[in-house]
Structure 1
Amino acid sequence: METHDDFEPEWIWVDDEGTNVYAQGYGRDLTVIFSFCADKHSPPTSLANRVCTKYEGLETEEPASTFSTIKDLHAAIWGAIRVDSIDSSIEKITWNIYSHPLFPRFVRHLADESLGRTSAGPSKSVDFASLIRYEQLGGRGCTTRVRLPIGEYSVFKGVDFRTALQYSDNEGDKIVRNLISNWRREYNTLLHIPPHPNVLPPPPMLVTIQWPDRSAPSVFCGGLFPFYPGGNAASRIKDSNKKGLRIPLDLKAHWCANMAAAVFHAHRIAKTYHMDIKPGNFVADGSDNLILCDWEQHDAPATTLAPEADGTWDVTEDLPTLQAVRPQLRYIKHSGTPRRNVDEDVLGDAPWHIWNVFPIWSNEHPWALELAEVFSLGRSMWMLLRQPESDFEDIEHPDQLITDWDKSEDIPATWKQMVDRCMSRDPNKRPDLSELVGFWMNEWSAQKAEG
C-alpha cells in the first residue's frame, strides 16, 4: 500500500480579506491546513506578516518585511512547515492547533436542503475524517484520490473544507453554496441514469461529516467513486505527445465508439445531457474502455462547446417534411431584453455563464441540444485523432479554435470526414447520435478484425 512519510505540499491561497494565507499538504496519512495570519501585535518582519504582505502586494519600505518573489514566499512557507529543514538562522515557528471558526458555517451549508436534496442512494457511508488523502485530480471543487485505512483507492468528489475555506467570503459564500449545489445535482443525475458501461455509475458510498461531535446529525459532503488508474483521454493524448507517439488507430476507434455510445445513452435513453464533453472527462478503466464522468451540468468548456449554444442564440424547429425526415433548426441571434439564468459571480464572463441554454433546450428543443453535443463530441474526437500539441488555454470562445488535420496522415479519410461533419457550423448538417454510434462501432469492429 502506498505511503507518504514525507510532507507533500499542495495548496497556498489567501482568504477573501487578505488577512490570512493558508497552506495545505498531506503526508503520514494526514492532511493539514496551516494558517498564516497578519498580526499587528507582531513585528512586520515576522513570517506571518511577511507572507500576508507579499500575498496582498502591500508596499513596504523595509525589504525584510516582505519577500522578493512569490517563489521565495512559497519556499519560506513550506520550509516553516517542514520543521526538519529549518536551520538556526531561520525564525523559529510555533504552531497552534485550533478549530477554524468557519467550519460550523461550512457544515450549515452542507445541511441546507435549499441547495438540493441528496436523494436516497447507497446505504453505506463513511466519515470524511477517516479518509486518507492523496493528490487532487483536478477540477474547481474537490476531486481527490483517497483510500480508507484498509481498502483500495477511491476518488472523493464533493466539497471539502479546504475548498470551502478557499471560496468563503462575507457576502453569503455564493461560490461555496454553488459548489455544494453542483455536487448534489451530479449525484442525483447519476442516480437516475440507467446503467451503461461507458457512463460513470453513482458512488457506491457517500461521505459524511459530523459536527461538533458524534451526537450531531451527519451531513453529506460528497461520495466515493471508483479510481481509474488509466487516466483520461486528455492525459493519454498528452503523454503520447510527450513521447512522440501516435495513439494506435484501433484504440482511437475504440475510444470514439465509447464516447459516442455514452452521449447517445445520455440523450436517447436517460433523456438528459452532459454539457461538459471533452477528452479530460472520459476516464479509462483497466481495459481501456472510456467512461464519461463529471455530470455536474453546470459549465461548458470554450474548446468544445457548440457555437450556437453559447447563450446568444435562440432556436426554433421546422416540422419534418417528406423531403426532410429530420426537423430543420433555425437559429436567431437574441436581441431582446438582457437575460440571465446563471447566478452572478459563480462562473466567468462568457455569454454561456450568463444564459445557459442546456436546461432550456433539454425541455423545449432536445433535438437542438443533441446536435450541440454532437459538435462537442466532434471537437473531442478531433483532439483524439489529431493529437494537437496545444492545451488551448487561450481559447475563450469555441469560434477561436481552428481545427485542421496537419500531421494526421495515419487517420483514415472517412474518419476525418465524419468528425468534420460533427463540427459543422450548421447544426442541420451534423450527423445525429444514432448515425455517429453506428459509424464508430463499425470502424472499431473493422480495426479489431484487422488486428
Structure 2
Amino acid sequence: MTERRSLSALGVSPDSIWGDENETIVYAQALGQGKALIFRFHLNPNNPLGSLSSRIVSCYHDLEVSNEAFTFQNRGAMRNAIWSAIATVWPSCINEPAILEAGTVIDLTTYKAGEIVGLAYREPLFTQYIDLLRNIRWSDLVTQNHIPRIVDISEVVFLEAMGGRGCCKRVRVQTGLEKSSTFVFKGIDFQTYLQLHDDDDEFAHTMVETWRRSSKLVADMPPHPNI
C-alpha cells in the first residue's frame, strides 16, 4: 500500500501488470499526468539473478530459482516492488520527449548501487501491432456521411482506466479551453496488443477482428429519431 501511496502522491495510478509468452518479460502500465506509460522488467542474462528485474520476472512467471533471494516471497511483495520502482523513475520519465513517440516502452534497470533507471526505447513489436490494424477502414468505425475528427495521440489526456474487455479508458482531448468534455477511448491499444501477443498472433488477430465487427455494427446503426 505504501508503494501505491507513493504513486498517488505523484498523481499516478497503477493500471495493470502482465507477462510475455516466453516468460522473460514483465510489463506494467501506470496512468498519470494525462499519459499512459508502459514499463518493462526484462530477464537479462547479463544481469545478476538478484537484480530487481530478474527477481520480478522469476516471481511473476514462477520460474525455478536456486535461492529465495532471486525471487519474492509472494506476488503481493512483487507488485509492491513494481509500483515502487515506477514511482521512483516516474518524475524523470514523464518529462522525456521520447515517451510521446508511438510504441515507446520504458525499460527499468537497476545498477550495482541499487539505483533504478528508466530507459525509453521503441518496442519492436509495435510494427506488428500496426500491421494488425491496417485492414481497419473508416467505414468500420464511423457512421456513414459523418466526417470524423482526427487528433494526434499526444492531444489525448488519459484520465482513468475503466472496466471492460480490451482497452477502455476515460479521456479528455486537449482543446485549449479551460473545460472540455470527456470521452471513452475504446479499442485495441498497444498495451492490449502486448497482453495478447504470442508467436503467431492468432488471438490478437481474433480480438482485432471482433473489435472491428462490433464497431462497424454500431457505426451502421440508423440514428435514433429522438437523439
TM-score normalised according to structure 1 size: 0.39
Query: Aligned in 2, Cα 1:5/1:45: closer, same or farther, shift over 3 Å?
Result: closer
Query: Aligned in 2, Cα 1:193/1:68: closer, same or farther, shift over 3 Å?
Result: same
What is aligned with 1:36?
41
What is aligned with 1:103?
126
Matches of 1:6 and 1:19, distance apart in 2 = 30
Gaps of 5+ in 1: 202-451
Counterparts in 2 of 1:148-227, with a 5 A limit? 148-150=173-175, 151-171=180-200, 173-196=201-224
Contact 2:140/2:215 (8 A) holds in 1: no
Matches of 1:183 and 1:46, distance apart in 2 = 39
Contact 2:155/2:173 (8 A) holds in 1: yes
Higher strand share: 2
Instruction: Give the alignment partner of residue 80 of structure 1, picking from 68, 81, 85.
Output: 85
Query: Aligned in 2, Cα 1:175/1:136: closer, same or farther, shift over 3 Å?
Result: farther
Contact 2:34/2:157 (8 A) holds in 1: yes
Matches of 2:224 and 2:133, distance apart in 1 = 30
Query: Aligned in 2, Cα 1:50/1:197: closer, same or farther, shift over 3 Å?
Result: farther
> 1:125 aligns to what SS in structure 2?
coil
| Structure number with higher relative contact order (C-alpha < 8 Å, ≥ 6 residues apart) | 2
Instruction: Give the alignment partner of residue 131 of structure 1, picking from 156, 159, 162.
Output: 156
Where has structure 1 moved over 6 Å in runs of 4 or more?
A: none
- The one-letter amino acid of 1:68's match is Q
- The one-letter amino acid of 1:27's match is G
> 2:162 aligns to what SS in structure 1?
strand
Contact 2:159/2:171 (8 A) holds in 1: yes
Matches of 1:18 and 1:37, distance apart in 2 = 9
Q: CA RMSD, aligned part only?
A: 2.5
Cα displacement (A) at 1:27: 1.0
- The one-letter amino acid of 1:105's match is Q
Cα displacement (A) at 1:91: 2.5
Deviations along 1:247-291, one digit per CA (max 9) or x if unpaired, are xxxxxxxxxxxxxxxxxxxxxxxxxxxxxxxxxxxxxxxxxxxxx
TM-score normalised according to structure 2 size: 0.76
Query: Aligned in 2, Cα 1:107/1:129: closer, same or farther, shift over 3 Å?
Result: farther
Query: Aligned in 2, Cα 1:69/1:130: closer, same or farther, shift over 3 Å?
Result: same
Matches of 2:194 and 2:54, distance apart in 1 = 20
Query: Aligned in 2, Cα 1:37/1:153: closer, same or farther, shift over 3 Å?
Result: same
Matches of 2:208 and 2:140, distance apart in 1 = 10
- The one-letter amino acid of 2:54's match is N
Matches of 2:18 and 2:225, distance apart in 1 = 39
Deviations along 1:7-52, one digit per CA (max 9) or x if unpaired, are 2111100011111100100111221100000011110000010011
> 2:118 aligns to what SS in structure 1?
coil
Matches of 1:176 and 1:29, distance apart in 2 = 27
Query: Aligned in 2, Cα 1:50/1:141: closer, same or farther, shift over 3 Å?
Result: same
- The one-letter amino acid of 1:96's match is L
Aligned length: 190
Contact 2:167/2:187 (8 A) holds in 1: yes
Matches of 2:22 and 2:89, distance apart in 1 = 32
> 2:171 aligns to what SS in structure 1?
strand
Instruction: Give the alignment partner of residue 22 of structure 2, picking from 4, 17, 22.
Output: 17
